[in-house]
Structure 1
Amino acid sequence: MVCFYTGLLLRRCMAASPTVLGYPDIGALAFGAKGRLAVSAFLYAELYLVAIGFLILEGDNLDKLFPGTSLSVGGLVVSGKQLFVVLVAVVILPTTWLRSLAVLAYVSASGVLASVVVVFCVLWVAVVDGVGFHGKGRMLNVSGLPTALGLYTFCYCGHAIFPTLCNSMKEKDKFSKVLVICFVACTLNYGSMAILGYLMYGDDVKSQVTLNLPEGKISSKLAIYTTLINPFSKYALMVTPVATAIEERLLAGNKRSVNVLIRTLIVVSTVVIALTVPFFGHLMALVGSLLSVMASMLLPCICYLKIFGLTRCGRAETLLIATIIVLGSLVAATGTYSSLKKIFYEF
């Protein structure tokens, strides 16, 4: 509900000026050049870390499908998750060199269908393949709340593309209806998976439920393969805005060799971090707490108050926005601390 409301705030900010075409433009409208820089920094950092999460996701699931796989190169043996992270990066690398990602954009739309397929496969494993609903766990784990809130926020952090999405619509006045449909659909999908995972595995559920599924079952393989598809199509979409920003900063322009070099170095850097911090759940919780909270909760409220002022907002709305800012700050502080603590502990 909070993220839905802040999405509406972004729409109002866009309506305040015809020059607003993207999220950074809202930051510029509110706080000038510094606002644009701050908003861009949070958005690009979020995209970069999500791309790293994709590599970790691929490595974990491929290792589940092909356990014990190893490769020896010049006396150096690489095996398991590390091997698959590198191999996936090599396969994905050429897609990041493309200047036009129109085809990938259409392919990434398959994520909607993929999410439904994965939920159905997990349900099939429970009902048909005999896993059942025998998981044991605590209904409320207070100590895990900071991490959970960060993950929840990450699930609803589409605000970075909301302005672009709104501008692409023929009937922009229906944007609020689009948000309602999207948030309801996502909640049903997330809620179904959460309930299934809890009832099937309880506290033993892993950061990716596909890692819990029994080996050898067709439904398990289908769920894992479906999970693997999205990162291949979306990785390039995640890193391209980051690469474009760096290219513009370095005035690379249309220098093909320089562009390829920049994008290759970005991919290499994500591989290094994915191998160094191979904790998918903790990383996504960190992204949700530190960056998604800023992009989806704090920045929309702060920019809205700056653009319209307290007098035009009214007491009730100002109080609501202030409450969201306080809530978002608490989630960001506690979630970031908890996620970093768990990452350091895993090392």
Structure 2
Amino acid sequence: MDVGGASDRVRLIDEIAEENANIQKKSHGGKVGGLTIFTAAIFIVGDMAGSGVLALPRAVVDSGWIGLVLIVVCAFISAYTGVVLGRCWVIIKDRFPEKYATDHVRYPYPAIGYEAAGIYTRYIITFCVNFTLFGVSTVFLLLAADNMQSLLNEANVNMSFCYWLPILAAILCPFTWFGTPKDFWPIAAGAFIATAIACVLLFIQIFIDYDPSTKVEHKSTDFTNFFLAFGTILFAFGGHAVFPTIQHDMKRPENFPRTVFLSYSVILTEYLPIAAAGYFIFGNQFFTQDTDNILSLLSDNGLTVAVTVLITCHLVCGFIIVINPFCQELEELFKIPLEFNWKRVVLRTIVCAFVLFVAETIPSFGAILSLIGGSTVTFLTFVFPSFFYIRLNRMRSPKEAWGGRKMQLYEYILHGEIIMVGVLGAIASTYSAIDSIATGASRFTVPCYVNVTAAHQ
């Protein structure tokens, strides 16, 4: 019996199997069994949809019927820049395989900024991403508290919105102590399903509340209200902060454009009918009842309660998912070990407390939506993807190991227009949001700890 030959054959088979595993691992962006097109789309929809669907009807009322056009236009531009951002990630993976092809990259968007424009741009992107994630967490907490008050009012439990904020923060805080969201895909799927069902029920309830005998009025818009609405619309399509992370975890990152197309098709299908129905059926009732949340205008019945519960489930799941990358960034900054330890508990508890403080100070999710949507979200969604794409395609290696793709003139014009619209829109929307908060023109601008009763009636 040729024991030595058999041993050599077994060793050869093992080497071939190991090599095949390495090839598969490289082709999957460093992860075997990564996200598919469908599962990646679930993460995008679960992250983006939810808060937007509640605020968009008020945004259309603030901006006028042109707001419906803005929703469609922003959806297409946002989807396009999402594809462009995905191309940027593929470019740097191809050019710097030793850094990005196989190793796990925790913050791919800042990595794109670094390779395209240097270390200071990386710092800027890091700030924008974390400011956005922190702001979204605050918005989710505010909306969840608002919904909890509405639900308990049905049971004749009258507790101020401002008291629900610390209660929910205390309940959610321990769930933020988990390490990373890589094992949390059921939470993303739950958020996706809850929002989809809620949108169908919400649309039905809006038409149930329609009264043909009541004349729907719409007031004319002005500069501040229009750009506040513009910021809210941008926020609703502002998922780019996490796009590269999702793409990095895909089995085939080059298929990310299909994921973007699928997810935006679902999101637009959810957003547009609700926004249009809210505008044409409720109109100025958003002003007379002083609310940013369309749930506040619905009749009190079982269907409305079901919608509120489903949206609240999405917000609770979303809070846990969105705040996690922000906490990980801080843990890396302070050199906190990856395994569970008391330092993580203390840091993430402090983060939750700070989110609570901001929510109590500016208890207006509409104002925060406009501020974030008009500032960091606009740059992450409209400005940086086009700018980085141009920079990466124009780069040349000193050793000519790689070269950029020659862009056509129409591409420069297209990306230049997107950047220009993004910068001008960001300036106008940010100014309008800050002015609205500072002058008290937005609902809930009185801090909860100053006057609880005035903060929410």
TM-score by length of 2: 0.69
Offset, 1:209: 0.8
CA distance in 1, matches of 2:215, 2:142: 26
The partner residue of 2:245 within 159, 164, 168 is 164
Letter in 2 for 1:269: F
Of all paired residues, the percent bearing the same amino acid is 21
The structure-2 alpha-carbon separation of the partners of 1:316 and 1:292, relative to structure 1 and needing over 3 Å to count, comes to: same
Letter in 1 for 2:327: A
| Pairing 1:3–2:87 present | no
Which residue of structure 1 lines up, in the alignment, with residue 314 of structure 2? 230
Alignment check: 8 A CA contact 2:192 2:314 kept: no
Match of 2:438, SS state, is: helix
Which residue of structure 2 lines up, in the alignment, with residue 339 of structure 1? 433
**Aligned pairs for 1:1-347 within 5 A:** 1-18=76-93, 19-20=99-100, 21=105, 22-67=108-153, 69=157, 79-128=159-208, 130-132=209-211, 134=214, 136-138=216-218, 141-143=221-223, 144-205=225-286, 206-215=291-300, 217-253=301-337, 254=339, 256-309=341-394, 312-346=406-440, 347=445
Letter in 1 for 2:78: C
Moved more, 139-148 or 251-260: 139-148
Match of 1:269, SS state, is: helix
Computed over aligned residues only, the root mean square deviation of the Cα atoms, in angstroms, reads 2.1
CA distance in 1, matches of 2:313, 2:216: 31
The structure-2 alpha-carbon separation of the partners of 1:122 and 1:135, relative to structure 1 and needing over 3 Å to count, comes to: farther
CA distance in 2, matches of 1:3, 1:150: 13
C-alpha deviations, 1:180-233, integer Å up to 9, x for none? 121122112110110121122112233111111122x00110111111101221
Letter in 2 for 1:10: L
Offset, 1:39: 0.8
CA distance in 1, matches of 2:86, 2:144: 35
Which residue of structure 2 lines up, in the alignment, with residue 73 of structure 1? none
Letter in 1 for 2:425: V
CA distance in 1, matches of 2:113, 2:434: 28
Offset, 1:251: 1.3
CA distance in 1, matches of 2:438, 2:389: 36
The structure-2 alpha-carbon separation of the partners of 1:263 and 1:148, relative to structure 1 and needing over 3 Å to count, comes to: same
The structure-2 alpha-carbon separation of the partners of 1:307 and 1:247, relative to structure 1 and needing over 3 Å to count, comes to: same
Offset, 1:104: 3.5
Q: Unmatched 5+ residue regions in structure 1?
A: 71-78
Offset, 1:127: 3.7
The structure-2 alpha-carbon separation of the partners of 1:141 and 1:89, relative to structure 1 and needing over 3 Å to count, comes to: same
CA distance in 1, matches of 2:367, 2:327: 25
The structure-2 alpha-carbon separation of the partners of 1:97 and 1:323, relative to structure 1 and needing over 3 Å to count, comes to: same
Alignment check: 8 A CA contact 2:203 2:273 kept: no
Offset, 1:140: 6.4
Question: How many correspondences in the alignment?
Answer: 337
Q: Unmatched 5+ residue regions in structure 2?
A: 1-75, 94-98, 396-404, 446-457
CA distance in 2, matches of 1:317, 1:33: 26
C-alpha deviations, 1:273-305, integer Å up to 9, x for none? 101101111111111111110111111122112
Moved more, 303-312 or 324-333: 303-312
Alignment check: 8 A CA contact 1:135 1:201 kept: no
TM-score by length of 1: 0.90
Moved over 6 A (4+): none
Alignment check: 8 A CA contact 1:43 1:160 kept: yes
Letter in 1 for 2:117: F
Alignment check: 8 A CA contact 1:13 1:307 kept: yes
Moved more, 40-49 or 236-245: 236-245
C-alpha deviations, 1:243-279, integer Å up to 9, x for none? 1111111112247111110000000011111011011
C-alpha deviations, 1:74-129, integer Å up to 9, x for none? xxxxx40111111111110110111143454321222222222222222332344x
The structure-2 alpha-carbon separation of the partners of 1:139 and 1:187, relative to structure 1 and needing over 3 Å to count, comes to: farther
Offset, 1:141: 2.8
The structure-2 alpha-carbon separation of the partners of 1:160 and 1:140, relative to structure 1 and needing over 3 Å to count, comes to: same
Which residue of structure 2 lines up, in the alignment, with residue 76 of structure 1? none
Alignment check: 8 A CA contact 1:286 1:339 kept: yes
The structure-2 alpha-carbon separation of the partners of 1:164 and 1:137, relative to structure 1 and needing over 3 Å to count, comes to: same
Which structure: larger Rg?
Answer: 2
CA distance in 2, matches of 1:61, 1:202: 21
CA distance in 1, matches of 2:188, 2:217: 35
Which residue of structure 2 lines up, in the alignment, with residue 75 of structure 1? none
CA distance in 1, matches of 2:167, 2:125: 33
